[in-house]
């Protein structure tokens, strides 16, 4: 997210909650002007990046913390629907097979919310209250 500026438009595509609603994943798509690219493939006025963010809170009454760790990112797509589908495919269908034999759960699997991946982010990343 470091290349974004006031011209960047962020779209929160989806919020996926844990069963107890204390942990969340935000699927985010960012739109930027294609003039920011050092090399342009076409004449499209915008390009899109997408990623997912880890979020948590201690209770339903507390504010949500968004963690500064975006595990996976897609970049330089020229079609919003295409990047959205690619991000959803990764989060809901492909995480389990990432990185060889180690188990990584898809975000629609209830085991994901207490997985070592989620716990690692909470332990080693900075949470920013929103």
Assigned domain for 14 exists? yes
Q: Report how far residue 47's alpha carbon sits from residue 58's, in angstroms, rounded to the nearest whole number.
A: 36
Q: What is the pTM of this model?
A: 0.84
Tell me if 64 sits within 8 A of 129, measured CB to CB: yes
pLDDT digits (tens, 9 = 90+) for 54-83: 999 999 999 999 998 766 789 999 999 999
Task: Specify the pLDDT at position 101.
Answer: 57
Tell me if 127 sits within 8 A of 67, measured CB to CB: yes
Domain count, the chain: 1
Assigned domain for 4 exists? no
Residue 71 structural domain: 9-125
Q: How far apart are the first and last CA of the chain?
A: 17
Q: What is the DSSP letter of 30?
A: E
pLDDT surpassing 50 at residue 97? yes
Assigned domain for 130 exists? no
């Amino acid at each position: 997210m470091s290349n974004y500026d006031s011209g960047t438009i962020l779209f929160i595509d989806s919020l996926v909650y844990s069963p107890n609603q204390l942990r969340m994943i935000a699927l985010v798509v960012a739109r930027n002007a294609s003039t920011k690219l050092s090399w342009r493939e076409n004449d499209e006025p915008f390009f899109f990046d997408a990623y997912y963010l880890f979020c948590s809170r201690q209770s339903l009454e507390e504010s949500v913390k968004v963690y500064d760790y975006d595990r996976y990112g897609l970049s330089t797509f020229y079609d919003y629907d295409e990047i959205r589908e690619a991000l959803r495919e990764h989060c809901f269908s492909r995480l389990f097979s990432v990185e060889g034999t180690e188990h990584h759960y898809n975000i629609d699997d209830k085991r994901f919310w207490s997985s070592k991946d989620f716990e690692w982010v909470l332990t080693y990343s900075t949470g920013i209250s929103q």
